[in-house]
Amino acid sequence: MSILKVLLAEDDPDIQKVVRMSLKMKGVKEVVVTDNGEECLARLSDFAPDVILLDVMMPKLDGYGTCRKLKENPATREIPVIFLTAKAQHYEVKQGMDVGALGYLIKPFDPMTLYDQISELLANRNKGT
């Protein structure tokens, strides 16, 4: 399945640009960028992404809290969430997976393979693995 629409929650403007460019390069049509978890949740009222990429450390509402809210809401529960974060400790990864994320990608990521990594996680989910 090709990924066409991505919602990104990331507070670092430079990383926002790198993620947007790396996904656009691989054919993603629309990358909607938000600065924090609250904005990300609000944006879902008029945007239906194929996947949500979440940073962890963000103002207002962090990534873990955002994911928890997404999974609590029946309207957003099924949207796959992948963390894209510099929080690389073992317990941080576990915390991310415990709140219902599909995957956990650690910064710095390779912009040339980011799309493929997301795609693989989505494909595994669809296969039920």
List residues binding other proteins (CB under 8 A): 12, 14-15, 18-19, 21-22, 25, 57, 86-90, 92, 106-112
Mark out the alpha helices in the chain (DSSP H runs). 13-25, 37-43, 63-72, 90-98, 114-127
Selection from 60, 59, 52 nearest residue 99 by Cα: 52
Name residue 106's amino acid: I
Whether the CB-CB separation of 30 and 3 falls below 8 Å is answered with no
Q: In terms of CB distance, is 14 or 78 closer to other proteins?
A: 14
Residue 116 Cβ, how far from other proteins at the closest point, in Å?
14
Nearest approach in angstroms of CB 114 to other proteins is 9
Nearer to other proteins, 25 or 123 (CB): 25
- Residue 45 or 89: the one with the smaller Cβ distance to other proteins is 89
Which residues lie below 8 Å from residue 117, measured CB to CB, with a gap of 6+? Answer: 103, 105, 109
Closer residue to other proteins in complex, CB, 42/88:
88
Closest contact distance (angstroms) between CB of 101 and other proteins is 18
